[in-house]
Amino acid sequence: MIDENAVRERLAALPGRIGFYCKNLVTGETLSCGADTPMMAASVIKLFVLAEAERRMDEGTLDRDALFTVRHAECVPSCGALNYMHDGLQVTIGDLCTLMIIHSDNSATNFLIDLLGFDAINALIRSLGYSVTALNRKMFDLESSARGIQNYICAAEVGDLLERMYRGTLVSPAASADMLRIMRDQQINHKIPFYLSELPDPPEIAHKTGEDDGITHDAGIVYADEPFVVVFCGNETDVPAFARAIGELSLELYRGNAK
């Protein structure tokens, strides 16, 4: 059994604004705190860019195999691989989607935002019934950020998006499965999977991280005996301390959802 009070006390002891959402996908049991609180999104917003890309590919208006030429002049710093590759590299749209998630590639994300459009991505978000989540600027847009323009999520809406993927109802069964396939290949694994990966028989995990100054998130599906969605969001927090807490609490939640 999960000690709900212990989980809440551990989260309450962390500095800053904390959002947390966990749902057992078999029983429907939910545990949350601050789950509806708007949080600066960092890279978790990329899940919603992915959802719109998958919607377009699913309907046939975006070709997964179409080639895209990467120009260094259009790349942005920080996370990812594309800005370290040779100028003029050609990758597919599907490659951009994969890099955006598994390496949190900011350049790949911005290329996809240009292809898809802010309006279309936000229209998808609203069509899903989400009122907090919003894509308002590109990645590493320091000018917009300085003016207070941020992307937002909340733990409950991210959790619902992940549950829709799990149940095959986000866009379509095929699109949902493809999103989860990409997320299972995540290469940034120092939060939810950190302690779980050391178990004798580690569970499969599909997840997406986010991190910036004073911000750390991780959101995913842990395929325990009874699979569960878990979303951790931290703003204005101690990033190393919260990242450690995410790993420890994920292990406790996993044990609580084991038969």
pLDDT in tens, 115-172: 999 999 999 999 999 999 999 999 999 999 999 999 999 999 999 999 999 999 999 9
Helix/strand/coil for 219: strand
Q: How many angstroms separate the CA atoms of 40 and 42, rounded?
A: 6
Backbone angles phi, psi at 57, to 5 degrees: -65, -35
Dihedral angle sign, alpha carbons of residues 75, 100, 129, 232: negative
Residue 184 clears pLDDT 90, i.e. is over it: yes
146 contacts: CB under 8 Å, gap ≥ 6: none
- Domains detected in the chain: 4-256 (3.40.710.10)
Section 27-55 average pLDDT:
98
**How far, CA to CA in Å, does 242 sit from each of 46, 61, 221?**
21, 41, 19
212 contacts: CB under 8 Å, gap ≥ 6: 40, 42
pLDDT at residue number 78? 78
Q: Do residues 217 and 211 lie in contact, with contact meaning Cβ atoms separated by under 8 Å?
A: yes
- Give per-residue pLDDT as tens, 210-230: 999 999 999 999 999 999 999
Q: Do residues 53 and 120 lie in contact, with contact meaning Cβ atoms separated by under 8 Å?
A: no
The separation between CA 24 and the C-alpha centre of its own chain, rounded to angstroms, equals 18
Q: How many angstroms separate the CA atoms of 186 and 35, rounded?
A: 24
pLDDT at residue number 259? 65
Q: How many angstroms separate the CA atoms of 204 and 188, rounded?
A: 14
pLDDT at residue number 216? 98
pLDDT at residue number 66? 98
Report field, pTM of the whole predicted structure over 0.85: yes
Dihedral angle sign, alpha carbons of residues 54, 60, 64, 69: negative
